Amino acid sequence: MASDSRDSSSATALFRCPTCGASLEVVDAPSVKCKYCGNPVPVPPELRPHKPQQPQVVIQQVDFSSPQYIEAAKASRNVGCVITAMILLITFGAIGFGLFASRSAITSVQTALQEVQVQIPAMPDVQATINAAVPGGVNVPSVPQAKATPGFAQIVQEFGAKGSGPSQLDDARYLAIDAQGNIWTADYQDGRVQQFDPAGKFLQLIQVPPDKNDNIYIEGLVADLKGNVYVTRGGDILKYSIADGSLSATFPGKFPNTRYQALAVDAQNNLYAIHSTASDNAVIKLNPAGKQLARWDDIVTKVNKKDAAMDLGIAVDGLGNIYIASSFGNQVYSYDSKGKFIDRFGQQGSEAGQLSGPHGLAVDGQKHLYVHHNGGIDQFDTSGRFIGKLPIDYTKGSPRTVLVDREGFVYTVTSNGKVLKYQVGRGTGE
């Protein structure tokens, strides 16, 4: 099995699935499950990280009865006596001086502490790693978190709890808001989609069925303004009625040519779906009945050939402009309603305005982009100018996505099963 070459913009080693040809990340394990075809794939031993060998310790045998050892021991004892005497003399002198100086030293320290009035914020606990083998994450170590923009945003609502029962969230990674302002969540691993009213009261649970490969992994969620919620699972789009949670239609993917993942919806209720495999990346536009209206192939790699374009997020504004976030490329790309490239921005790093594995994306009615990445949730204008960073309380968990409603409130769901609603003010850049 041949391994892929490393991308110059990423230190992640990739190799191909022999079944479907998808690019897989090298992990320190005998095998990894392909997220495209679901088959276990052996990891080539030559690509796996190797632990450095421990240096060999050599123990030399010494003859303690030899004349050379006895003479050396005597000389060592003589030197040791002299050194001991010197140490005792210095110690007693230091004790005397210390008794004299201690009171003045204590007084100086107390004075200094009273003069220093610096407040140091507590450092949050940060998730150590994020699994790149599943959507919504990249395999990178924790990076220092850039500080939130003072006064930029505040949490105005919170609900949810960790768990697998009704109204509880277990590995929730996706959010949607329907026309009535109800909030939808989707768990990645167990196929559960849940609806809550605007106040956070639980309304209903939809259990997404497995596909033919027994796959229930969810990779996208969106709600339109006509009473429908859409879920991507196993490369297909499932359309559900919000009224009763019934499955009303399935838009099947056709791997490897069409594999639906992240979703967005425009003002005319048309769907935009990310398609991504090892050989292609595209945005596919569908009407509410599932008919393909447009397809833009190689939409990222035509612009940036160095971008692996594998873990992509998507958002669409009221004019039909398309925005794509690439976690492997640490870039955000913008296109017009015809799929024509407009601009891109993004610099890898952990400072304010820099990106580390962006994969969640949302856009509001004021031409503000919200980018969810490993460093938190940042606001930019559509030209890439950094505006501000949302405050993250890591005791509530790490954010997993970002969403904006029609009133400009920003939402995220966390690793601890919390849905958080932010009211956003004005950033430092405005």
* DSSP secondary structure string for all residues of 333-380: EEE-TTS-EEEEE--BSSSTT-BSS--EEEE-TTSEEEEEETTEEEEE
Task: Find tokens 């041949």 and name the residue.
Answer: 2
Length of the chain: 430
Amino acid 16: pLDDT: 72
Amino acid 69: pLDDT: 44
Distance (Å) of CA 176 to CA 130, 200, 324, 358: 23, 13, 18, 19
Q: Per-residue pLDDT tens for 202-227?
A: 999 999 999 999 999 999 999 999 99
Lowest mean pLDDT among 59-63, 182-186, 375-379: 59-63
- Whether the Cβ atoms of residue 158 and residue 418 lie closer than 8 Å to each other: yes
Higher pLDDT, 38 or 303: 303
CA 331, 332, 335, 337 torsion: positive or negative? positive
* Beta pairing partners, 409: none
* Beta pairing partners, 322: 316, 335
Average pLDDT, the chain: 80
Parallel, antiparallel or unpaired: strands 271-276 and 14-16:
unpaired
Q: Per-residue pLDDT tens for 249-260?
A: 999 999 889 999
Tell me how far apart the 2 most distant CA atoms of the chain are, in Å. 99
Radius of gyration of the chain (CA): 29
Q: Per-residue pLDDT tens for 271-315?
A: 999 999 888 999 999 999 999 999 999 999 999 999 999 999 999
By three-state DSSP, how is residue 233 classified? Answer: strand
What would the mean pLDDT of 182-189 be, rounded to a whole number?
Answer: 97
Amino acid 207: pLDDT: 97
* DSSP secondary structure string for all residues of 272-320: EEEEE-SS-EEEEEE-TT--EEEEEETTTTTT-TT----SEEEEE-TT-
What would the mean pLDDT of 228-232 be, rounded to a whole number?
Answer: 98
Amino acid 130: pLDDT: 36
Distance (Å) of CA 334 to CA 246, 321, 327, 379: 35, 7, 15, 15
By three-state DSSP, how is residue 261 classified? Answer: strand
Cis ω before 256 (30° cut-off from 0): yes
Token reading at 36: 């495209």
Higher pLDDT, 371 or 82: 371
Amino acid 428: pLDDT: 45
- Whether the predicted pLDDT of 408 surpasses 80: yes
Task: Find tokens 């699994």 and name the residue.
Answer: 131
- Whether the Cβ atoms of residue 148 and residue 379 lie closer than 8 Å to each other: no
Amino acid 106: pLDDT: 35
Phi and psi (nearest 5°) for 408? 95, 5
CATH architecture observed for domain 153-424: 6 Propeller (2.120)
Higher pLDDT, 233 or 64: 233
What ranges do the domains of the chain cover? 1-80, 153-424
- Whether the Cβ atoms of residue 420 and residue 186 lie closer than 8 Å to each other: no
- Whether the predicted pLDDT of 362 surpasses 70: yes
Amino acid 47: pLDDT: 75
Q: Per-residue pLDDT tens for 109-149?
A: 333 333 333 333 333 333 333 333 344 443 434 445 678 88
Residues 6+ apart with CB under 8 A from 258: 235, 275, 284
What would the mean pLDDT of 35-41 be, rounded to a whole number?
Answer: 70
